[in-house]
Amino acid sequence: MASEESFVVLVHHRGSIKRKTRSGVKFTDKDPLCIIVRPTTSYDDLISSVLRKLGLECVKRVKKFFYRIPITVLQEIVKYDCFTIGSDEDLQVMFQCRRQFPEVRTPELLAKLVDVVSISGGSNRNTTTLATTARSSSRHAVASSSVPAYEPPVQPVVSPSFAIDLNGSVGDEVGT
């Protein structure tokens, strides 16, 4: 099946986003990685592939990806915009665009890398660090085998002027 074929994605990791170019949006990194993906690749798998290829698995984490998304194709000219990828659903947009715009043979991503944060709160290159994932804050942290992962219980906040359930239960009363 053609939709299951592997393809190359260029992943920029040092550059920035340049807007208002002739083609719309451009990534400035001149030395991107080549990553092979399939339409079944998950967001977490993409993150792992990028960090592994860079050799930064315990040092950096991917905060998010920016996708150079084709928005119009007129004759031989392709115009691009920028789309943030932060989940499996967002990643499916890239796969759909690849099917929809065959003129764009190689999708491009810009990986926003940040330092891994240690348990003490600082960032360093120590392998005994707690790596928070690039997904939402509701996801659990990823820990190395020598550091136990600790997630403190979430406590509701109550004040005379307002009450909110930090677990995200909209409309529920706190403390009942």
Domains, the chain: 2-115 (3.10.20.90)
Q: What number of residues does the chain have?
A: 176
Which stretches does DSSP call E strand in 30-122?
A: 33-37, 60-74, 77-85, 108-115
Is the pLDDT score of 47 beyond 70? yes
Would you state the pLDDT for residue 162?
45
Contact indicator for 116, 129 with CB cutoff of 8 Å: yes
Model confidence over 93-110: pLDDT tens digits?
A: 999 998 988 888 899 999
Would you state the pLDDT for residue 112?
94
Burial 40-64 (b: 16+ CB within 10 A, else e): ebebbebbebbbeebebbbbbbbeb
Mean pLDDT of the chain: 75
What percentage of residues in the chain have a pLDDT greater than 90?
A: 42
Is the pLDDT score of 86 beyond 50? yes
pTM for the model: 0.62
Model confidence over 116-132: pLDDT tens digits?
A: 886 655 554 443 333 43
